[in-house]
């Protein structure tokens, strides 16, 4: 119709006018961009010449700033070290100087000869030994001299061995008095001894009830399960939880260059052909000056050379020598971190108990010390009396032993924990041989089974919280800042005040022992890593963390960094004195390169990336000089008057986390 034709004609005209208007506006924009580009191109040589002329002065000024700050920090640290050394000397508490080998040797010799076996006093002595051990570890980290490295490693290994020996002596003393501390309800002896570093759980099998399956030490969240043949044997079970980890340090010292995942198949012959690896340490016994205490560090199969007493026969039948293949999963100590300390899971021969006759106390004294009970014992020929006590034929074999652990309250697992057992022969952690693993996140409890009694740890991927989602460094005032990292699984904030740091996180429950407490950056880093909150990198991180192939900036600007090229970095920066959030329109983008820095003319919300500099700005050879062009007088004054320890602390946190690469 006529009306429809008029309407269509009008729509066509409106569309034509709109297209013409858009074309005109686009032409104006193109013309404006052309003029700006010509203007930039015109001043570009002038800016480059100006930057080149002052480049040497800016680099010298920056170098002097860094050198002066570094020298001041080094002087302060040396003074603090000398002060601490003098205070330690004035204490006169018998603690040796760990840097003097003669003092360390004397300290260990005197302690080794000390006949004290009371568990409370022994654990107190161990606390002092741990302090010495920590000092040795610090010295080992600081030195690069090969002779000193060898000296400190030897001292660390010997002192660790001595501490473990003292634990065994105290354990033996408790077990000798098992009948005097019998539990009337169970007929056995069970006890728990605990201090700030160690939890010792002991169970002595006095009743030998074949229906006994296991025991839970409810007060400390530890428990075990044993098969029937052990339930009728003359044994004692120990779970020793040390909140420190000596075995992982031993593994690192032994395999210093191991940093790749190891999973291989090996072939071995029968257990009877497997060589036994044992280390013996001899000291004078508390009860007999001539007797010797022998501590054996067992191999993978849990075999010992000690004789088997009790209800199990000691004669081993000849096993089939046909070769068997199995998978060995060695824990890569560069990829995984043991958390929560070590759990030493052992079974021992129960020492001879005292008998009281006519007012006399009669006890058989052995010179073997605390003997490991051999388990598993494959191919054992059992006597008829033992078989009659067992309900089924399967019990004659060597079923796996079970253990349950409540996650320690001083660690946080960002993922489900994994279990690794100690390979004493290879001095390494292994993940094979652990079965029926069950983890309850609600109860924070994990249970599993192993073929034999061995030390074990709970491990987590060291880089579970990588890569970072974003990061921010925000000033809070003079010599104060807030460093925030949004990790892959958990967010972490660190408040810096002077040379002190304080962790802030939403997960307060597991980290209450150091959250909200001031400490230096080194101590904070160690505490966070020991608790499972790792945001720190090392020389092996790039092997295990996948980055985005380019740098990133403080606020998520990955699309710009993906387009600026591998030689440049885009950062978003704003001068901000208030405590509240930064208004979005106040952020400025900077393009950083090895040769110069410049302010960009685009914003985070721009449609496309452009490396062109912002009109009216200049080029600078250093980022700090670039920022000063747009900082207030007060802002510049703060950067120049910041305390050298504050600058060093912030710098150390940034270097330790490398957010420009891993965010």
Which of the 8 DSSP states describes residue 315? P
Cβ 528 vs Cβ 503: under 8 Å: yes
Cα atoms in the Cβ-side hemisphere of radius 13 Å centred on 321: 4
Residues 613, 32: Cα–Cα separation, whole Å: 16
* 565 φ/ψ angles, rounded to the nearest 5 degrees: 95, 155
Long-range pairs of 263-269 with CB within 8 A, sequence gap ≥ 24: 263/327, 263/328, 263/329, 263/330, 264/327, 264/328, 264/330, 265/325, 265/326, 265/327, 265/328, 266/325, 266/326, 266/328, 267/323, 267/324, 267/325, 268/323, 268/324, 268/326, 269/321, 269/322, 269/323
Read off the DSSP letter of residue 378.
T
Per-position b or e across 505-541, b if 16+ CB within 10 A of its CB: bebeebbeebbeeebbbeebbebbebbbbbbbbeebb
In a domain, 579, yes or no: yes
364, part of any domain:
no
Predicted pLDDT of residue 396: 53
With a cut of 50, which residues of the chain have pLDDT below it?
258-325, 379-395, 549-557
Q: Is residue 9 part of a domain?
A: no
Could you give the angle at which helices 146-176 and 246-254 cross, rounded to 10 degrees? 140
| Residue of 617, 615, 568 lying closest to 596 (CA atoms) | 568
The Cα–Cα gap between 280 and 23 comes to 91
Secondary structure letter of residue 536 according to DSSP: -
- Residue 660's pLDDT is 84
Rounded to whole angstroms, the Cα distance separating 215 from 221 reads 11
Q: Of 79, 108, 113, 112, whose CA–CA distance to 96 is shortest?
A: 108
Give the domain range for residue 105. Answer: 101-171
Please indicate, yes or no, whether residues 574 and 629 belong to a single structural domain of this protein.
yes
Selection from 176, 541, 517, 502 nearest residue 335 by Cα: 541
Examine residue 2 and state whether it is found in any structural domain, yes or no: no
CA distance 446 to 419: 9
Residue 297, pLDDT score:
31
Tell me, yes or no, whether 203 and 232 share the same domain.
yes
Same domain, 536 and 519: yes
How many separate domains does the chain show?
A: 3
Task: Return the sign of the alpha-carbon dihedral for residues 5, 6, 7, 8.
Answer: positive
| Same-domain check for residues 485 and 456 | no
Of the candidates 171, 187, 215, which is a domain's last residue?
171
Residues 443 and 561 in one domain: no
* 613-638 burial code (b ≥16 CB/10 A, e <16): bbeebbbbbbbebbbeeebeeebeeb
Domain boundary among 155, 171, 187: 171
Residues 197 and 340 grouped into a single domain? yes
341: left (phi over 0), alpha (psi -120 to 50) or beta: left
Among 362, 353, 344, 355, residue whose Cα is nearest residue 309: 353
Query: Quick one: pLDDT at residue 152?
Result: 94
DSSP letter string over 610-630? --PBPTT---BSSHHHHHHTT
Place of tokens 């105290």: 170
Q: Is residue 551 part of a domain?
A: yes
Same domain, 641 and 584: yes
* Residue 94 lies inside a defined structural domain of this protein: no
Domain assignment present for residue 298? The answer is: no
Residues 652 and 561 grouped into a single domain: yes
Does residue 490 sit in the same domain as residue 622?
yes
How far lies 579's CA from each of 47, 475, 482, 576, 582, in Å? 36, 8, 11, 8, 9
Q: Is the dihedral of CA 457, 461, 462, 465 positive or negative?
A: negative
Q: Given this model, what pLDDT does residue 322 score?
A: 35
pLDDT value of position 33: 79
Residues 507 and 589 both lie in one domain:
yes
> Hunting for tokens 């007493």 — which residue is that?
309
Shared domain check, 630 and 551: yes
- Residue that finishes a domain, picked among 171, 197, 228: 171
Could you tell me if 140 and 194 lie in one domain?
no
Residue 79 placed within a domain: no
Q: CA angle, corner 476, sides to 474 and 480, nearest 5?
A: 100
């Amino acid at each position: 119709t006529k009306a429809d034709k008029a309407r269509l004609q009008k729509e066509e005209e409106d569309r034509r006018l709109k297209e013409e208007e858009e074309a005109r506006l686009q032409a104006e924009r193109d013309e404006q961009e052309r003029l700006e580009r010509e203007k930039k191109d015109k001043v570009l040589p002038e800016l480059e010449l100006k930057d080149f002329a002052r480049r040497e002065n800016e680099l010298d000024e920056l170098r002097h700033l860094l050198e002066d700050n570094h020298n001041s920090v080094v002087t302060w640290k040396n003074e603090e070290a000398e002060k601490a050394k003098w205070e330690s000397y004035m204490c006169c508490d018998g603690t040796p100087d760990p840097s003097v080998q003669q003092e360390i040797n004397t300290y260990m010799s005197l302690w080794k000869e000390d006949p004290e076996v009371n568990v409370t006093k022994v654990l107190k002595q161990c606390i002092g030994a741990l302090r010495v051990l920590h000092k040795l570890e610090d010295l080992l980290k600081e030195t690069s001299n090969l002779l000193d490295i060898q000296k400190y490693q030897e001292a660390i290994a010997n002192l660790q061995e001595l501490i473990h020996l003292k634990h065994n002596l105290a354990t033996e003393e408790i077990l000798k008095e098992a009948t005097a501390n019998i539990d009337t309800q169970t007929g056995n002896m069970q006890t728990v001894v605990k201090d700030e570093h160690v939890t010792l759980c002991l169970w002595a099998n006095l009743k030998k009830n074949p229906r006994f399956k296991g025991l839970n030490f409810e007060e400390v969240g530890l428990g075990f399960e044993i098969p029937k043949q052990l339930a009728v044997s003359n044994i004692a079970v120990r779970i020793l939880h040390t909140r420190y980890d000596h075995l992982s340090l031993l593994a690192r010292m032994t395999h210093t260059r191991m940093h790749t995942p190891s999973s291989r198949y090996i072939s071995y012959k029968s257990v009877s052909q497997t060589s036994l690896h044992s280390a013996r340490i001899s000291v004078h016994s508390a009860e007999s000056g001539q007797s010797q205490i022998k501590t054996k560090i067992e191999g993978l199969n849990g075999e010992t050379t000690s004789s088997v007493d009790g209800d199990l026969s000691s004669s081993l039948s000849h096993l089939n020598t046909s070769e068997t293949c199995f998978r060995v999963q060695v824990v890569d100590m560069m990829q995984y971190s043991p958390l929560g300390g070590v759990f030493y899971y052992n079974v021992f021969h129960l020492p001879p108990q005292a008998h009281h006759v006519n007012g006399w106390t009669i006890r058989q004294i052995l010179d073997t010390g605390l003997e490991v009970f051999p388990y598993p014992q494959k191919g054992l020929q059992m006597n008829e009396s033992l078989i009659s006590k067992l309900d089924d034929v399967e019990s004659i074999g060597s079923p796996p032993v079970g253990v349950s652990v409540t996650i320690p309250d001083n660690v946080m697992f960002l993922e489900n924990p994994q279990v690794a057992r100690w390979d004493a022969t290879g001095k390494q952690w292994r993940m094979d041989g652990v079965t029926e693993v069950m983890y309850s996140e609600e109860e924070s409890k994990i249970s599993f089974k192993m073929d034999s009694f061995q030390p074990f740890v709970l491990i987590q991927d060291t880089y579970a919280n990588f890569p970072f989602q974003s990061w921010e460094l925000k000033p809070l005032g003079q010599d104060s800042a807030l460093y925030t990292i949004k990790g892959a699984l958990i967010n972490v904030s660190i408040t810096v005040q002077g040379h002190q740091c304080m962790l802030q996180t939403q997960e307060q429950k597991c980290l209450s022992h150091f959250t909200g407490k001031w400490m230096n950056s080194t101590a904070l880093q160690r505490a966070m890593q020991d608790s499972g909150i790792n945001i720190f990198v090392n020389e092996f991180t790039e092997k295990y963390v996948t980055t985005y192939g380019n740098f990133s900036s403080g606020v998520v600007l990955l699309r710009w960094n993906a387009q600026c090229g591998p030689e440049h970095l885009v950062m978003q920066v704003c001068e901000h004195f208030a405590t509240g959030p930064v208004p979005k329109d106040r952020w400025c983008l900077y393009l950083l390169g090895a040769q110069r820095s410049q302010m960009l003319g685009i914003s985070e919300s721009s449609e496309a990336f452009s490396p062109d500099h912002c009109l009216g700005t200049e080029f600078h050879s250093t980022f700090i000089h670039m920022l000063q062009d747009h900082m207030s007088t007060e802002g510049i004054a703060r950067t120049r008057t910041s305390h050298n320890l504050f600058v060093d602390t912030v710098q150390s946190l940034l270097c330790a986390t490398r957010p420009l690469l891993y965010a």
